[in-house]
Structure 1
Amino acid sequence: MVPPSSNPPSNPQQTQQFLSSVLSQRGPSSLPYTEDTKWLIRQHLLSLVSNYPSLEPKTATFTHNDGRSVNLLQADGTIPMPFQGVTYNIPVIIWLMESYPRYAPAVYVNPTREMIIKRPHPHVSPSGLVSIPYLHNWIYPSSNLVDLVVNLSSAFSRDPPLYSQRRPNPNPNPSPSPSPSPSINTSMSPSYGHHPPPPGPRVAHTAAGVYPPSPYGRVHPPQHSQPRPTSMDDAAEVYKRNAMNKLVEMVHGDIIGMRKAREVGMEGLFSAQAVLRRREEEINKGFKEMQEEKEALEQQLQVVLMNTDVLDSWIRDNEGKTKDLGKNNVNVDEAIRCVDVLSKQMLDCTAADLAIEDVVYSLDKAVQDGAVSFDQYLRNVRLLSREQFFHRATAAKVKEAQMQAQVANMAARLSHFVS
């Protein structure tokens, strides 16, 4: 993380203008929040600043564990922490991640050089990352930053996360009288009015240095029977403790990075699994369609084979009749023979229908030429139309009966081919 890139606003009006400006930007420099949530982000930050003026909205570059950097909004400042009757200020940074407000923000305790994070702490990791139940139980859209700060203040007041480092005493002469010292560093000074320092711990100034009190209990000065530590030993102990904190922070960061990398890998595997399942469904669907198409083609093949058999039979039956075509003694009435009664009836009905058509055509010509009167024409057309209707109705019924017979014949032939 790098220092903020935007100057914090100094009053509520400037805060509103600042948020409206940064949230309305478009293009590559725009913040990575969705358009439908920017108004809620603005409202959350304005409510936070209104309730806690010590927190100021800024924009800064946040570097993820995978090395990816993104420009995000943050609330930087201090939150009040009541402890032993005194209100102290805890420096924190609240990062609004890309998924905010649907997911909880990232909260870090930001100690100064004179402060050390308590180890172990139930809610603060050695790197300063805060983890409280309110963050784990974040519910969109009811959860907000004001309630988050209230829960942070309550959790810290039960177990403060910071305490002052030991410092060597620049005065080599021991002080004869003890003097009071606040439990937390001056950067954690009381807020919302001046409060007197907590009445309890007093620190004895010795040649070895000053032992500042801690909010986690009273620190007693060394007894005369024990050897007094030197300032060199005290500095070495502080250096060792800082080095250990740094190593723990680095290891914690590496663990988080490895976990994020494994999570990314798992997400990639899950995505590949989803793609493979979708392709499996498409392949199964295509295979089923191909099977259905194969069955339809097999049925069509059976129909073609049956029609071929019928045509071959007809050719064999009528092959001898072609010998009489060369002679001129072909009987027209016997040239076409009906194979059954239905065919004979269909032939008669069709012939009568066509004959009536010819008669009606001749009557039209006759009435146009004046050979037939119009009244006689209408009377004859009405009689012929009635007779033609009956012939056509009979032909339709015969055709239906022939279709049923043909279907039964095809079914019989199909069973023959299947067997």
Structure 2
Amino acid sequence: MVQPAAHSPNPQFAQQFLSSVLSQRGPSALPYTEDTKWLIRQHLVSLTTAFPSLEPKTASFTHNDGRSVNLLQADGTIPMTFQGVTYNIPVVIWLMESYPRHPPCVYVNPTRDMIIKRPHPHVNPSGLVAVPYLQNWIYPSSNLVELVRNLSGVFGRDPPLYSQRRAPPPPSPNPNSNFGVTSNSSAVASNSGSAAGYAHRPIPPRTYPPSPYGSSGAASRVQSPPNTEDPTEVYRRNAINKLVELVHNDVVGLRKTKEAEMEGLFNLQGVLRQREEQVNKGLKEMQGEKEALEQQLQMILMNTDVLEGWLRENQGKKLGNVENIDDAFDCVDVLSKQMLECTAADLAIEDTVYSLDKAVQTGAIPFDQYLRSVRALSREQFFYRATASKVRAAQLQAQVANMAARNMHYGRIIFVGYVKSVLLANVAEIVLVSGIVSIFSDAYLLIDCRFHPLCIMEFEKGLLDEQWGMAVDKSWHELVDFGQSHP
């Protein structure tokens, strides 16, 4: 196929060249990140040491979208062994902007007398190489040396290039030859369907700027018979394949862009749904608060109507000969009037004691006077509270008597249970709440069925058995006697 270079570039020159181009700054700087430049230099130095036929260069690379960028490349030949004969496949390894985090782009670079094998499992018609090593590129373990070794093995199993000329049967090639085979060997490769190479622009052949340290015979000569295929047809076929590849890349790029836009719209939709739920929740809370406020407003309006009615009734009235303002309010009975006086006196004494506390804290009165005043007020407050307690007990007894008198007319009652007695100020306390009469004086608890909504057992007189009737009648008479004995 291609004869190897007459001599290999000096690795020291390669190191100097890479150090020079990777250290450039400004508009002429290479588009690699600073944290990867040292690793790129190491990869290329190792590659030129292991494969001297590959030379590091800089060249302009044109992307599918038309952008041109100055990149590093390894240009030269890769040795491969096919049917016991060593061949050299011309390749170009482009180090893209994202290298080494992403794999390089490898192209076979056929000469004028070579053509890309079609179809080939790892090389498309435009020369782009796709081998498993590139597809499974892992940073930072993957490197160029292992890539070239992998390419050599893959091309040795299925060469990607073959010669366009036919020649008479060749003699047996020398397997140990380190140089390119003769034209007879080229014919063998042609008959076997062998050859390798991937060109970014296969026709006309790609030209690259010379290395700063010189190519030193890197331009190889191809030994092949006369051309047997029309170059125009080859150019047309390769151009069509290139256009198909460009269209495919554009479609893939457009699809990725639209998928990214759709993903963004889906995320936005999710955010909007969450906000919708929050708004609905807040709306429900506001509606509940509105209903509660409306209820409070109705209550306030009712109280306002009551107060306005009282004002209308009493606005034109005069106190007349009333000397005390307290006499303006009439109590229903004597007990209520006495309870009002005791409660007012109790609260007044409470306010007085509070004022004395403030005065002694500020030093307005002496401490001994404060103690005497508080003792006198506390004694007086005790009598008022005791009187109020007795009055309250008397009122409750009167209410029980009235309740018992009303219950004589009711035919349905409920027997609930027995309750222990509780004495307060030597007076039996009787509590009346919502129609419930609780007698804490070794009596029975009776509930008026007309007012209390919860009933444990309901019965009609005349429907109970004799034992239940006797027990209820006895309890009823005890309640009536208790009310009559405590007027």
After the TM superposition, which of the residue ranges 152-161 and 141-150 deviates more from structure 2?
141-150
Give CA deviations for 1:111-153 in whole Å, capped at 9, x if unaligned.
2223211111110000011111122222334333332222111
After the TM superposition, which of the residue ranges 334-343 and 317-326 deviates more from structure 2?
334-343
Q: Measure, in 1, the Cα distance between the counterparts of 2:378 and 2:45.
A: 93
CA contact (8 A) 2:108 2:129 kept: yes
1:353 aligns with 2:350: yes
SS in 2 for 1:155: helix
1:272 partner amino acid: L
The alpha-carbon deviation at position 317 of structure 1 amounts to 4.2
Q: Give the one of 178, 192, 196 matched to 1:217.
A: 192
In structure 2, runs of 5+ residues without a counterpart are: 1-9, 195-225, 383-432, 434-487
1:355 partner amino acid: T
After the TM superposition, which of the residue ranges 347-356 and 114-123 deviates more from structure 2?
347-356
- Residue 146 of structure 2 corresponds to 147
SS in 2 for 1:140: coil
Q: Measure, in 2, the Cα distance between the counterparts of 1:336 and 1:34.
A: 96
Q: Give the one of 247, 250, 255 matched to 2:248.
A: 255
Q: After superposition, where does 1:122-201 map in structure 2 within 5 Å?
A: 122-166=121-165, 195=178
Alignment CA distance shift 1:124-1:65 (3 Å): same
Alignment CA distance shift 1:346-1:166 (3 Å): farther
Alignment CA distance shift 1:386-1:11 (3 Å): farther
Q: Measure, in 1, the Cα distance between the counterparts of 2:42 and 2:95.
A: 13
- Residue 294 of structure 1 corresponds to 287
1:96 aligns with 2:95: yes
The alpha-carbon deviation at position 73 of structure 1 amounts to 3.9
1:322 aligns with 2:315: yes
SS in 2 for 1:333: helix
- Residue 376 of structure 1 corresponds to 368
CA contact (8 A) 1:356 1:384 kept: no
- Residue 280 of structure 1 corresponds to 273
Give CA deviations for 1:290-337 in whole Å, capped at 9, x if unaligned.
333333333333333333333333433454233346868474335689
2:350 partner amino acid: D
Q: TM-score, normalised by structure 1?
A: 0.62
CA contact (8 A) 1:73 1:96 kept: yes
The alpha-carbon deviation at position 74 of structure 1 amounts to 3.4
After the TM superposition, which of the residue ranges 12-21 and 155-164 deviates more from structure 2?
12-21
Q: Measure, in 1, the Cα distance between the counterparts of 2:351 and 2:249.
A: 94
- Residue 186 of structure 1 corresponds to none
Q: After superposition, where does 1:328-347 map in structure 2 within 5 Å?
A: 329=322, 331-333=324-326
Q: Measure, in 2, the Cα distance between the counterparts of 1:197 and 1:78.
A: 11
Q: Measure, in 1, the Cα distance between the counterparts of 2:190 and 2:377.
A: 117
Structure of greater Rg:
2
CA contact (8 A) 1:111 1:162 kept: yes
Alignment CA distance shift 1:133-1:321 (3 Å): same
In structure 1, runs of 5+ residues without a counterpart are: 1-7, 170-176, 184-189, 204-210, 220-232, 391-404, 406-419
1:351 partner amino acid: A
Alignment CA distance shift 1:110-1:255 (3 Å): same
Q: Measure, in 2, the Cα distance between the counterparts of 1:134 and 1:261.
A: 27
Q: Give the one of 18, 21, 28 matched to 2:20.
A: 18
CA contact (8 A) 2:113 2:227 kept: no
The alpha-carbon deviation at position 109 of structure 1 amounts to 1.5
Q: Measure, in 2, the Cα distance between the counterparts of 1:384 and 1:68.
A: 104
Q: Give the one of 242, 246, 255 matched to 2:239.
A: 246
Alignment CA distance shift 1:381-1:141 (3 Å): farther
Q: Measure, in 1, the Cα distance between the counterparts of 2:361 and 2:313.
A: 44
1:109 partner amino acid: V
Q: Measure, in 1, the Cα distance between the counterparts of 2:360 and 2:240.
A: 117
1:18 partner amino acid: S
1:267 aligns with 2:260: yes
Q: Measure, in 2, the Cα distance between the counterparts of 1:319 and 1:360.
A: 42
- Residue 5 of structure 1 corresponds to none
Alignment CA distance shift 1:195-1:360 (3 Å): closer
CA contact (8 A) 1:86 1:197 kept: no
The alpha-carbon deviation at position 156 of structure 1 amounts to 0.9
CA contact (8 A) 2:114 2:164 kept: yes
Give CA deviations for 1:10-39 in whole Å, capped at 9, x if unaligned.
6253155236415xx47x766555566555
CA contact (8 A) 2:108 2:127 kept: yes
- Residue 303 of structure 2 corresponds to 310
Q: TM-score, normalised by structure 2?
A: 0.54
Q: CA RMSD in A?
A: 4.9
Give CA deviations for 1:60-115 in whole Å, capped at 9, x if unaligned.
44333233444444333333223334433322222333444443332221222232
2:192 partner amino acid: G
Q: Measure, in 2, the Cα distance between the counterparts of 1:330 and 1:54.
A: 129
CA contact (8 A) 1:92 1:107 kept: yes
The alpha-carbon deviation at position 278 of structure 1 amounts to 3.2
Give CA deviations for 1:241-276 in whole Å, capped at 9, x if unaligned.
443333333333333333333333333333333333
CA contact (8 A) 2:91 2:109 kept: yes
CA contact (8 A) 1:9 1:56 kept: no
Q: Measure, in 2, the Cα distance between the counterparts of 1:291 and 1:142.
A: 59
- Quick one: percent identity of the two aligned structures? 43
Q: Measure, in 1, the Cα distance between the counterparts of 2:42 and 2:344.
A: 91
Q: Which has the higher contact order (CA 8 A, sep 6+)?
A: 2
Q: Measure, in 2, the Cα distance between the counterparts of 1:343 and 1:103.
A: 95
CA contact (8 A) 2:162 2:193 kept: no
Q: Measure, in 2, the Cα distance between the counterparts of 1:337 and 1:59.
A: 113
CA contact (8 A) 1:57 1:73 kept: yes
How many residues get paired?
A: 339
Q: Measure, in 2, the Cα distance between the counterparts of 1:116 and 1:346.
A: 118
- Residue 408 of structure 2 corresponds to none
1:269 partner amino acid: M
Q: Measure, in 2, the Cα distance between the counterparts of 1:35 and 1:324.
A: 99
